[in-house]
Amino acid sequence: MTSPIAQDLLGRLQGQPLSDIGRQLGLSDSQVQGAVATALPLLLGALGRNASQPEGADALFGALQRDHAGEDVGSVLGAVLGGGGQGAGILEHVLGGRQQTAIRGIEASTGLDGDRAGSLLKMLAPLVMAYLARRMFSSDPAPAGTTPLSPTPQSLGSVLGEESRRIGESGGLAGGLLGAVLDQDSDGDTDLGDLLRLGGSLLGGR
């Protein structure tokens, strides 16, 4: 994973948080590590694409300020594991009609079945929002290689746009999954069929 925001958030989930997510989904430590490392860039890349337009940046900024300011990843994870966190609603805003494509892509690239891939995305979405809100509205330092987030829609759109660009250019499963999900109806170079074949080869022909 070469995108610094996704890497920083994954680092904050190491240890007990990832173990708790894996236990909830019935995954081993290595399985949940790989699945989360694949899903986080997808969510952050999709947010970056949405925030690339001023109206998208305004909407995301408003949601972070209104619904997620003051949250921290640890407390949100506790709520998520208890069945809260509003993950389904967040995914609807982030992915819209591309949710099933995202689930199929996670399934193909990680070996999870569709139900667990969907549950993983619903669990991670509130964590991503809490992380971004804390980065924006607190004094948490920016990850190395990134621009500090200031509390404006323009800053949010710029930083997430750069993250999305890095993910897309990184290649591998993270970049391929992002391209397959976001560009399936456009003229992107990667389609879901390519991703399914890539995932199958990496998983030993699964």
- What would the two tokens of residue 114 be? 């569709």
DSSP one-letter string for 3-14: -HHHHHHHHHTT
C-beta atoms surrounding 186 within 10 Å: 7
Q: How far apart are CA 165 and CA 45, in angstroms?
A: 8
Residues 6 or more apart in contact with residue 167 via CB below 8 angstroms? 2, 3, 6, 41, 44, 45, 48, 174, 175, 178
Q: How far apart are CA 156 and CA 199, in angstroms?
A: 32
Query: How buried is 59 (Cβ within 10 angstroms: 0-12 exposed, 13-18 middle, 19+ buried)?
Result: middle
Region of residue 112 (left: phi > 0; alpha: psi -120 to 50; beta: else): beta
Q: How far apart are CA 178 and CA 166, in angstroms?
A: 11
The pLDDT of residue 120 = 95
Residue with tokens 């993270």: 174
The pLDDT of residue 202 = 35
| Alpha-helical runs (H) found in 51-143 | 54-63, 73-81, 87-95, 99-110, 114-137
Query: Which sequence spans correspond to the domains of the chain?
Result: 4-202
The pLDDT of residue 189 = 41
| Chain segment 51-74, per-residue pLDDT in tens | 888 899 999 999 999 888 888 888
Lowest-pLDDT range of 6-10, 45-49, 137-141, 145-149:
145-149
| Chain segment 113-141, per-residue pLDDT in tens | 989 999 999 999 999 999 999 888 876 77
pTM of the model: 0.82
CA angle 98, 200, 181 (to 5 degrees): 15
Q: State the helix-helix crossing angle for 114-137 and 99-110, rounded to 10 degrees.
A: 110
Q: How far apart are CA 35 and CA 24, in angstroms?
A: 13
- Please say if the pLDDT value at position 174 is more than 70: no
Over the Cα atoms of the chain, what is R_g? Answer: 16
